[in-house]
Amino acid sequence: MIIVMKPNAKQESIDNIIRIIEEKGLTPHLSAGKEVTIIGVVGDKSKLLDQNLEIAEDVDRVVPVTESYKLANKKFHPEPTVVKVGNALIGGDELVIMSGPCAVESREQLFETAFAIKKAGAQILRGGAYKPRTSPYAFQGLEEEGLKFMKEAREETGLAVVCEVTSLAAIETAVKYVDMLQIGARNMQNFYLLKEAGKTGLPVLLKRGLSATIDEWLNAAEYIIAEGNPNVVLCERGIRTFETATRNTLDISAVPVIKAKSHLPIIVDPSHASGVRSYVKPLSKSAIAVGADGLMIETHPNPAIALSDGPQSLTFPQFEELCEELRPLAALMGKKF
Amino acid sequence: MIIVMKPNAKQESIDNIIRIIEEKGLTPHLSAGKEVTIIGVVGDKSKLLDQNLEIAEDVDRVVPVTESYKLANKKFHPEPTVVKVGNALIGGDELVIMSGPCAVESREQLFETAFAIKKAGAQILRGGAYKPRTSPYAFQGLEEEGLKFMKEAREETGLAVVCEVTSLAAIETAVKYVDMLQIGARNMQNFYLLKEAGKTGLPVLLKRGLSATIDEWLNAAEYIIAEGNPNVVLCERGIRTFETATRNTLDISAVPVIKAKSHLPIIVDPSHASGVRSYVKPLSKSAIAVGADGLMIETHPNPAIALSDGPQSLTFPQFEELCEELRPLAALMGKKF
Amino acid sequence: MIIVMKPNAKQESIDNIIRIIEEKGLTPHLSAGKEVTIIGVVGDKSKLLDQNLEIAEDVDRVVPVTESYKLANKKFHPEPTVVKVGNALIGGDELVIMSGPCAVESREQLFETAFAIKKAGAQILRGGAYKPRTSPYAFQGLEEEGLKFMKEAREETGLAVVCEVTSLAAIETAVKYVDMLQIGARNMQNFYLLKEAGKTGLPVLLKRGLSATIDEWLNAAEYIIAEGNPNVVLCERGIRTFETATRNTLDISAVPVIKAKSHLPIIVDPSHASGVRSYVKPLSKSAIAVGADGLMIETHPNPAIALSDGPQSLTFPQFEELCEELRPLAALMGKKF
Amino acid sequence: MIIVMKPNAKQESIDNIIRIIEEKGLTPHLSAGKEVTIIGVVGDKSKLLDQNLEIAEDVDRVVPVTESYKLANKKFHPEPTVVKVGNALIGGDELVIMSGPCAVESREQLFETAFAIKKAGAQILRGGAYKPRTSPYAFQGLEEEGLKFMKEAREETGLAVVCEVTSLAAIETAVKYVDMLQIGARNMQNFYLLKEAGKTGLPVLLKRGLSATIDEWLNAAEYIIAEGNPNVVLCERGIRTFETATRNTLDISAVPVIKAKSHLPIIVDPSHASGVRSYVKPLSKSAIAVGADGLMIETHPNPAIALSDGPQSLTFPQFEELCEELRPLAALMGKKF
């Protein structure tokens, strides 16, 4: 931690900061200049957590030096984490594709989709049973019935299944049916939910919040890992910006940034990021090329009548074509698919 | 709803859209131009909810004409809503100030604060017992013990009390102790929580999400009202932008926008919006002048050792001074305080 | 400047940084901790400008300690600057209102406006002769003819006049006709234009760029002052965010932030910030209450047929009513108006 | 254009809008519903440009139907534009790489770079002679001397050269030395400069503004093309968002969006977008995979002492390695390189 004093700070104010630091058993290092004085503190900064040095007399600002997340931090865990979901290994040398409808609408719709995506090459079936919708009047999901269909689809196809959970009740139900829990963008800082998801021990797919910084995202992952559950997969799904040509702005740089700061696997969801079907293919390719460990792509037997996110869902032939075009690219990036 | 066709759309594609609209019992209105054709549909657009016309052949885009929120919409409820919390009436001709510590830390800290803010003129005591914190290693709140202190402080001072809830469990506990539930910014689209808060019938303080549009915010309010609970107070607390001189960017325009679009009361939280103590006074004044119904301001007996948000908390003398300076301004704006 | 080393940085890398700093005649201060080492450098950091320490071996990041603007910085010039434009003094105890049409359209339109705003209380007439428009097919301004009308209006009414300039040619023409040059939001980082405006010695109204940080804005002011021209007035006119209910988001906090960081006066433009006529009055009040030194407000004899920005322009009766309502508020804030 | 009336608009207000439309020789199409009435106008909307229908009585809002740019619009020019710069063809089946130092610092630095990037495969040399810098105290460029070096480097290596211009004076000088003019991000809406660049007839590289929407960007291109100069190449270089882990946020989706909306070529600049050297390689790959026509990448003989943007510049071996890794990817995307 670095404390930057105001220009011409009184000696008394500087001494006060030094005293507080020393009282906590830490060692201050003073750099006194003509214009400003800075005070470095190296050591266990948690000892200073309950001291709001920002507002002490003559302090200009406090600059943190280390990240607040530890378990998700590559500095302390340099080896990449590989998360096993069903037979798929995310974070290693496989390219893993999760696909399926935004919302589970019926047994038929889900089964048709499951077989189609399996044939095309996907390893994991996604499908929403608890849908967070902007308007209370939009379709809210089939809940447990949807989860049952997911489990049946898993048994029929051998695909692993992932479902979003939005409450403790949903988690308690979902653990009976799915291989992986998804925490959606709107709940990325629902810390209660993160802890509960962590306690299940199931792999967790943690989507980035619409306006979450990468630092906040890794802190959210820290909540899950701190419950003893290291099986976290991050999912970049677009952030909110001023641009309206796409539903959100896919932050493709998040992939190399995460690879530099964390050991956790990261996949990309071009369907939610763009909100436009015709952009899904080029964005999927960019995600593979930038080094993502996988993709999440929405598919539907008939997007024109999908109850949720139809405009961004691929038809089965479109999905099949996409997978075909991804194969040589995955190979070039050293990924099996 | 307006469907804009692509330039040179085939007649067959236009006929297809007209057919879908008519099948739903609605009447399409065609405007055929040299460049583009547009099709207007007026009526109950929910009948078209399961038709993703955006991706029908030759459709360029679909433009919604009406807002998706109804119960929170001023167009259908032109009279302003006044919400009663304890003895305070929010949304009428009173200026209501909620104040207190970010986090309840101890009985002493809370009581000292409650008496101080009451003396200065505040009507409602705030205090966090369940704290959503970016890092799992930061203080997470006293939970039920904190709520008990809140209730005791209410009994001692006559102030109404408001507390943030972050889970169903927290709601079930809080209803025993508080006058008003707060849904925080990070949970603004935790729709499960919104519904549960709605069911309690208690007044709900709904903070705006960090990157929520005003439209999404009013839809979140709609979730609460749709449970039969019209007692919603909105709270603007800053949005996330590129600017880093303040913790968030206070969207002061949100006040007149909400007044134009909704009948719900709106207050402003300059403490969270700015994150800097010295900006709280000028921003409080701007909020009153722009027409807000109240303020939420963080105070602490000793901000230098506050466990949460110390740098933005006012001392008691600072809060008293603020209230004194607000009085003539409130009078000028026609508000009792 | 503070150099934060990576965890477990090699001693050799640390020595290298120390060597570079010492070679420049500066003194490094080392804080060696268990996890990380930080190196403080206090002194003339411009000596290190040509050393990109960020990419030296084992460096994690470099944290600047002081702002790069000096002449615009309150730390070095604590007394507020007062800028004289005609008879108006901006930055002292007057409330100064600039008003007029977005674009000068005709002699009649301008004169009618000039007399109306003068009667209501405005001190400065604004009017665009060189219009930066998003589309090349929109009205681009009357250029020199418009400036002549401005000068005539000045002579007739005694109002000072301000005009936007968008090129060196425009500056060279404008200096013959106006009292103050305006640099618009889109040109805030047109550094060539800033220097040329600075050289004229005329007062400069510097609007904030749509996505400029406050730090960048003050650096833009520094360009003007560095040419020997201290007469800079800042104008907050809304920043670009995700919210679409208003044309831009008025960053009301910019006023106290500027007052804390700089000695320059700051006014607010609620017309461009909101883009909606009915929000201009409440936002004007919030600007006065937060401590702004003045306002810039668009008016037009008949907004319905204005060639630019009609939807946000006030009619004369609306402007008069606004000024009337601002008087007691200005008095309360200690401003003469 | 679609005019949406307020709920319960008076018949008189509706008649008024119809009258205005008909007076302009256009045909209104009415859709009268139970809740709202909408009025479609199809035809030459420029006839309504001087009517601010937004503020007419009982109008809720006006929705534009067609884009304001025509010459840059794919709807009217479906064939992709190919821009010739030296021997390079941008926008066809070549992958074109522009590279060089952020700022030309010396003849030696530039020549060394030119030979190195040519050897690695780049076709165009970039180098700044007029540098827009946030602070007036940072290095501002060698100006004409730098341009002379560029021309000499072109003669020695056969590479085409591109230089940023920031004023009319710079354009007048640059046309004597370079093959392509660059308009930088900060000047994207410097409409005066756009027109002057257009008049030269030279190819123009138009960088996207930090907070420019894609629609505004294409309107900026329209300014250049409207001067009779169709040789515009767009360059996505990152937009400003809340995320600080990268200098800007690369909007990778801009590539497919531009390909859908315009016929102009688009390249990507991962150096400015990320500001971090180690992210340049993965982002370059993502740009090729998403369908970009080329790249702009900063290189320097010794980034550690670069006068501008050192931290994001590649060394020559790094650039060579990058080009090698791009070759198979370009081939996969059907691009010659």
Q: What is the DSSP string of A107-175?
A: HHHHHHHHHHHHHHT--EEE-BSS---SSTTS----THHHHHHHHHHHHHH--EEEEE--SHHHHHHHT
Q: Is B70 on the interface with D (CB under 8 A)?
A: no
Q: Please answer yes or no on whether C187 and D190 come within 8 Å at the CB atom.
A: yes
Q: Please answer yes or no on whether B286 and C252 come within 8 Å at the CB atom.
A: yes
**Gap between the Cα atoms of A40 and C39, Å rounded:** 9
What's the confidence (pLDDT) of residue D249?
98
Neighbours of D268 (CB within 10 A): 29
C40 closest CB neighbour out of A31, A34, A75? A31
**Gap between the Cα atoms of B52 and C172, Å rounded:** 56
Q: Is A191 on the interface with B (CB under 8 A)?
A: yes
pLDDT tier at C62, thresholds 50, 70, 90: confident
**Residues near C63 by Cβ (< 8 Å), separated by ≥ 6?**
A2, A63, C1, C2, C4
C45-48 CB contacts, 8 Å cutoff, 24+ apart: C45/C1, C46/D137, C48/C1, C48/C20, C48/C21, C48/C24
Region C186-205 average pLDDT? 97
Region C116-125 average pLDDT? 98
Please list the helix, strand and coil fractions of chain A in percent, rounded to the nearest 5, in that order.
40, 20, 40
Is the confidence at residue D160, as pLDDT, over 80?
A: yes
Is the confidence at residue B42, as pLDDT, over 80?
A: no
**Gap between the Cα atoms of B141 and B169, Å rounded:** 14
Mutating which of A2, A31, A74 best tests the C interface, going by the most C Cβ atoms within 10 A?
A: A31
C contact residues 265-284, partner D, Cβ 8 Å cutoff:
277
What's the confidence (pLDDT) of residue A50?
66
**Gap between the Cα atoms of B93 and B77, Å rounded:** 19
Is the confidence at residue D71, as pLDDT, over 90?
A: yes
Is the confidence at residue C50, as pLDDT, over 70?
A: no
Is the confidence at residue C56, as pLDDT, over 80?
A: yes
Q: Please answer yes or no on whether A36 and C65 come within 8 Å at the CB atom.
A: yes
Measured in degrees and rounded to the nearest 5, phi and psi for residue C307 equal -80, -15
What's the alpha-carbon Rg for chain D, to the nearest Å? 23
**Gap between the Cα atoms of A295 and A250, Å rounded:** 13
Most confident segment among A71-80, C249-258, C300-309, D36-45: C249-258
To which CATH superfamily is domain D83-332 assigned?
A: Aldolase class I (3.20.20.70)
- Residues in a beta bridge with A40: A2, A29
Measured in degrees and rounded to the nearest 5, phi and psi for residue C85 equal -130, 110
Residues of A in contact with B305 (CB under 8 A): 50-52
A135 closest CB neighbour out of B169, B219, B311? B219
C24-28 CB contacts, 8 Å cutoff, 24+ apart: C24/C48, C24/C51
User: What secondary structure letter does DSSP report for D134?
Assistant: S
Please, are residues D286 and D253 in contact by the beta-carbon 8 Å criterion? no
> Can you tell me which residue has the tokens 């899950």?
A224
For A287, the closest chain D residue by CA position comes to: D286
Q: Which chains touch A (3 or more CB pairs under 8 A)?
A: B, C, D
> For D289, what's the count of Cα atoms within 13 Å in the CB-facing half-sphere?
32
Q: Please answer yes or no on whether B166 and A52 come within 8 Å at the CB atom.
A: no
Question: In 3-state terms, what secondary structure has residue B32?
Answer: strand
Parallel, antiparallel, or unpaired: how do β-strands A37-42 and C2-5 relate?
unpaired
Q: Please answer yes or no on whether C29 and A43 come within 8 Å at the CB atom.
A: no
Is the confidence at residue B220, as pLDDT, over 70?
A: yes
Indicate left, alpha or beta for B201 from its phi (over 0: left) and psi (-120 to 50: alpha).
left
User: What secondary structure letter does DSSP report for B301?
Assistant: S
Q: Give A280→chain B minimum CA distance, Å.
A: 14
pLDDT tier at D45, thresholds 50, 70, 90: low
**Residues near C209 by Cβ (< 8 Å), separated by ≥ 6?**
C185, C186, C188, C189, C216, C217, C220
Q: Which chains touch D (3 or more CB pairs under 8 A)?
A: A, B, C
What's the confidence (pLDDT) of residue D6?
87
Measured in degrees and rounded to the nearest 5, phi and psi for residue C212 equal -85, 135
Of B25-29, B173-177, D35-39, D273-277, least confident by mean pLDDT is D35-39
Instruction: Round the average pLDDT of chain B to a whole number and report it.
Output: 93
**Gap between the Cα atoms of A17 and A57, Å rounded:** 9
Q: What is the ipTM score, two decimals?
A: 0.94
**Gap between the Cα atoms of D307 and D304, Å rounded:** 9
Q: pLDDT digits over B7-27, tens only?
A: 789 999 999 999 999 988 888
Q: Which of A73, A1, A79, A65 shows the shortest CA–CA distance to A218?
A: A73
Q: Which of C320, C299, C322 shows the shortest CA–CA distance to C310?
A: C299
Q: Give C102→chain A minimum CA distance, Å.
A: 25
For residue D203, what are the CA distances in angstroms to C300, D89, D97, D154?
41, 11, 16, 16
**Gap between the Cα atoms of D285 and A229, Å rounded:** 33
The larger pLDDT score, comparing residue D42 to residue C20, is at: C20
Q: Which of D301, D297, D292 shows the shortest CA–CA distance to D322?
A: D297
Question: In 3-state terms, what secondary structure has residue C2?
Answer: strand
Q: Is B290 on the interface with C (CB under 8 A)?
A: yes
Residues of C in contact with A29 (CB under 8 A): 29-31, 38, 40
* Tokens representing residue C277 in the block: 């006529």
Residues of C in contact with D303 (CB under 8 A): 52, 55
H/E segment holding residue C136: none
**Gap between the Cα atoms of C90 and C83, Å rounded:** 5
What's the confidence (pLDDT) of residue D49?
65
Q: Which of B176, A247, C108, A97 shows the shortest CA–CA distance to D253?
A: A247
What's the confidence (pLDDT) of residue B86?
96
Q: Is A137 on the interface with C (CB under 8 A)?
A: no
CATH 3.20.20.70 domain locations along chain A: 83-332
CATH 3.30.70.1140 domain locations along chain C: 2-63
H/E segment holding residue D261: helix D254-261
Most confident segment among B87-101, C45-59, D307-321: B87-101
Q: Is D326 on the interface with A (CB under 8 A)?
A: no
For residue C166, what are the CA distances in angstroms to C179, C180, C192, D166, D212?
16, 14, 11, 12, 18
B214-218 CB contacts, 8 Å cutoff, 24+ apart: B214/B254, B214/B257, B214/B258, B214/B261, B214/C243, B214/C245, B215/B67, B215/B68, B215/B69, B215/C245, B216/A134, B216/B188, B216/B189, B217/B188, B218/B67, B218/B69, B218/B72, B218/B73, B218/B258, B218/B261, B218/B262, B218/B264
Measured in degrees and rounded to the nearest 5, phi and psi for residue D88 equal -85, 140
What's the confidence (pLDDT) of residue B189?
96
**Gap between the Cα atoms of A296 and A299, Å rounded:** 10
pLDDT tier at B199, thresholds 50, 70, 90: very high
Is the confidence at residue D48, as pLDDT, over 80?
A: no
Is the confidence at residue C183, as pLDDT, over 90?
A: yes
Residues of B in contact with A240 (CB under 8 A): 211
Please, are residues D265 and D234 in contact by the beta-carbon 8 Å criterion? yes
**Gap between the Cα atoms of C131 and C96, Å rounded:** 24
Helix axis angle, A277-290 relative to D254-261, nearest 10°?
Answer: 140
Q: Encode chain A (337 residues) as per-residue pLDDT tens digits.
A: 888 888 889 999 999 999 999 988 888 888 877 677 888 887 666 677 667 888 888 998 888 877 889 999 998 899 999 999 999 999 999 999 999 999 999 999 999 999 999 999 999 999 999 998 888 888 889 999 999 999 999 999 999 999 999 999 999 999 999 999 999 999 999 999 999 999 999 999 999 999 999 999 999 999 999 999 999 999 999 999 999 999 999 999 999 999 999 999 999 999 999 999 999 999 999 999 999 999 999 999 998 888 877 788 999 999 999 999 999 999 999 999 9
Specify the pTM.
Answer: 0.94
What's the confidence (pLDDT) of residue D36?
78
**Gap between the Cα atoms of D279 and C238, Å rounded:** 32
Please, are residues A326 and A285 in contact by the beta-carbon 8 Å criterion? yes
Q: Is A65 on the interface with C (CB under 8 A)?
A: yes
Pick the CATH number of C2-63 from 3.40.30.10, 3.30.70.1140, 3.40.50.720, 3.40.50.10540: 3.30.70.1140
**Gap between the Cα atoms of A103 and B265, Å rounded:** 35
What's the confidence (pLDDT) of residue A28?
87
Region D297-312 average pLDDT? 88
**Gap between the Cα atoms of C14 and C4, Å rounded:** 10
Residues of D in contact with B244 (CB under 8 A): 244
Mutating which of A69, A211, A243 best tests the D interface, going by the most D Cβ atoms within 10 A?
A: A243
Q: Is B49 on the interface with D (CB under 8 A)?
A: no
Q: Please answer yes or no on whether D51 and C187 come within 8 Å at the CB atom.
A: no
H/E segment holding residue D187: none
**Gap between the Cα atoms of C280 and C267, Å rounded:** 14
The larger pLDDT score, comparing residue C44 to residue D208, is at: D208
For B43, the closest chain D residue by CA position comes to: D33
Instruction: Round the average pLDDT of chain D to a whole number and report it.
Output: 93
Q: Which chains touch C (3 or more CB pairs under 8 A)?
A: A, B, D
**Gap between the Cα atoms of D308 and D326, Å rounded:** 26
Mutating which of B42, B67, B70 best tests the D interface, going by the most D Cβ atoms within 10 A?
A: B42
Please, are residues B249 and C251 in contact by the beta-carbon 8 Å criterion? yes
- How many helices and strands, by DSSP H and E, does chain D display? 10, 14
For A60, the closest chain C residue by CA position comes to: C65
pLDDT tier at C45, thresholds 50, 70, 90: low
Q: Is A133 on the interface with B (CB under 8 A)?
A: yes
Region C150-156 average pLDDT? 97
Q: Give B264→chain C minimum CA distance, Å.
A: 17
For residue A157, what are the CA distances in angstroms to A110, A115, A149, A270, D323?
11, 7, 12, 25, 43
Please, are residues D110 and D101 in contact by the beta-carbon 8 Å criterion? yes
* Tokens representing residue A146 in the block: 């949807």
Q: Please answer yes or no on whether A168 and B167 come within 8 Å at the CB atom.
A: yes
Q: Is C64 on the interface with D (CB under 8 A)?
A: no
